[in-house]
A and B are shown apart, each in its own frame.
Chain A
Amino acid sequence: MNDIFSNPVLAKALPEAILETLQMVGISSFFTVLIGLPLGVFLHVSAPGGLRPMPVTNRVLSDVVVNITRSIPFAILMVALIPVARALTGTSLGPVAASVSLSIGTIPFFARLVENCLRDVHHGKIDAAQVMGSTKMQVINKVMLRESLPALVAAATTTVVTLVGYSAMAGLVGGGGLGKLAYNYGFQRFDVTVMLVTIVLIIVLVQVIQLVGERISRSLDHR
């Protein structure tokens, strides 16, 4: 126990590492939902038999963009996207730059989850909304999104947890955060204390995210 408090690495670098991880997860979660949610809605609505079928666009987005992005292992995608991160943020180092590839990596994943959530909204509800004179936007906002909100929150929770894992990986290639700390000190310098503390912190972070996500999801669910 004493070791934890007297460990110079932990005292010096841990607060910053935690902050960087939270920054990466926070920024990329924000952009993943911001872009992934509309993308998922679009994938669902434009599918054949959807609210507004657009077979060609749907095909291109679904098969080419989403599936290809998702089939590239994240470790490779991250490295490959370093030039993009540099173009967008002016640097390839630090949590902000890492958030670019993190977001791009998880947007398609989240969009697929959103698409599945919307698909689970019973078709009768959409019929009912249309018969009462809803516009397509009203169907999307007042029925699809609202009825699947508990599932969407659960999907977002899963995505954020995935982002925590990815952020550790991003730490290795310049993102910083707990991943970098564990690798630099825990692995390369055989500092077991640092390694253990990092692992425990990440476990706690994931548990908190999962717990909060489930709470919110359950409080929204009236089924």
Chain B
Amino acid sequence: MITVTDLRKVYQQGKKEVVALDGVTLSVPKGSIHGIIGHSGAGKSTLVRCLTLLDRPTSGSVSIDGTELSSVKDSEIRAARRRIGMVFQHANLMDSRTAAGNVAHPLELVKTPKEQIRAKVAELLKLVGLEGFENAYPSQLSGGQRQRVGIARALAADPDVLLCDEPTSALDPATTDEILDLIQDLTRRLQLTVLIITHEMNVVKRVCGSVSLLAKGRIVEHGALQDVAGDLDSKLARALLPLPASEPLAGALQRGPVLEILFSGESAKEPVLTGVARHFDIDLNVLAGSVETLGGEQFGHLRVQLAEDADADAVLDYLHQRGIGAKRTSTAAAPDPDFAHSAPTAPVPASGDQGGNS
């Protein structure tokens, strides 16, 4: 279990003070995976550096199973760090060491007997699925294999907490899934407490039980995945169940009111849309939608346009009575300043044909 309480970090930049972390509080129970999501500049890197004590927080505390880390003396800082295993975006392996040498590195630091190191390294490499790669140098391994070595190395000192800083951001989608499955599997088997810092919502969707949204050094939203996803007004729900921007469809319904509807849990199984159509005897069009299973629950996020003469308020009441989140909205998906790049639409290329292959 890791607990972070009111963590603040203020950097001195010339005469100006820069607040990188502005009171971050979170706690992750043993055996679970928590995602911290935010775009660059939100304070993710600072949070990582404070959690690993590479930087001292200005105030606040970090504790693992009740042991305070942030106030330990400099002489005890190394022992404290060994309670946290860290996985880096680019694995950060030593090029001069083999896979086995890299995994052995943390054990060498505390003068572990050679025989013990050999046994532990073999066990860890097997655990991450790299049996037989003991003598391979990082340059001979693929990105995914390198990250596996990085994970094995992070686990070498038997840490309580695994801190993953953008563990899959440098990997292709298939490898990303493999690495995330490995992290999930290890969390269960070793009863780890895992924090994944990422900017990819897919990482959160796939493995995290709970999530925090970090923006401007603060946690603006947090909760279990199914709770935040079921809240129509939460930014995380919009990021988890993104709707692409959509133009109103030409034709009969062009000027009708537009509603945003969020089904979750039980209500996702009901035939709600046809229910609305029948009950009010109106037509409706689905403009955009996103359906996912998150944390074991089904979610559906839809943008729906009603017929022009429909009574939108009555429809909203009807939906609310059935426990379905719904509200009026405009057709264009509003860009979210705290989490802008979550929409699944491809980025619009810059104007002009610089690529030359249009």
Q: Enumerate chain B interface residues (CB-CB to A < 8 A).
A: 52, 54, 78-79, 81-82, 84, 86, 88, 90, 92-97, 105-106, 108-110, 137-139, 153, 156-157
Contact = CB atoms under 8 A, between A and B. Distances in A.
A76 to B, nearest CB: 40
Contacts of A143: 94
Given A142-B105, A142-B108, A220-B96, A130 B88 contact: no
B153 A132 contact: yes
Interface in A109-150: 122, 124-125, 127-135, 138, 142-143, 146-147, 149
A12 interface: no
Among A128, A134, A138, A222, find the residue whose CB has the most chain B CB atoms closer than 10 A: A128
Contacts of A146: 94, 96-97
Nearest to B49: A127
Contact of A223 (B78, B92, B95): B95
Q: Mostly helix, strand, loop or mixed at chain B's interface? A: loop
Contacts of B90: 124
Q: Mostly helix, strand, loop or mixed at chain A's interface? A: helix
Nearest to B86: A131
The 6 A-B pairs of least Cβ separation, nearest first, read A124-B92, A132-B106, A128-B92, A133-B78, A222-B137, A133-B82
Given A138-B109, A222-B137, A222-B139, A132 B94 contact: no
Interface of A: 122, 124-125, 127-135, 138, 142-143, 146-147, 149, 220, 222-223
B195 to A, nearest CB: 13
Contacts of A134: 78, 109
A143 B90 CA distance: 16
B79 A133 contact: yes
A135 B78 contact: yes
Nearest to A149: B96
B105 A223 contact: no
Contacts of A223: 95, 139
Nearest to B106: A132
A219 B132 CA distance: 23
B88 A124 contact: yes
Contacts of B86: 128, 131-132
Contacts of A142: 94, 105, 108-109
B339 to A, nearest CB: 26
B106 A222 contact: no
A128 B93 CA distance: 8
B330 to A, nearest CB: 44
A26 B142 CA distance: 43
B88 A128 contact: yes
B96 A132 contact: no
A80 B113 CA distance: 54
A130 B54 contact: yes
B94 A125 contact: yes
Contacts of A132: 81-82, 86, 105-106, 109, 153, 156-157
A65 to B, nearest CB: 29
B128 to A, nearest CB: 16
B153 A122 contact: no
Contacts of B153: 128, 132
A192 B97 CA distance: 53
A133 B78 CA distance: 4
A220 B97 CA distance: 11
Contacts of A125: 92-94
16 contacts: A122-B92, A124-B90, A127-B52, A127-B92, A128-B92, A128-B93, A131-B52, A131-B81, A132-B106, A134-B78, A134-B109, A142-B105, A143-B94, A146-B96, A147-B94, A222-B96
Contacts of A124: 88, 90, 92
B31 to A, nearest CB: 22
B110 A127 contact: no
Among A131, A142, A149, find the residue whose CB has the most chain B CB atoms closer than 10 A: A131
Given A128-B86, A222-B139, A223-B139, A133 B92 contact: no
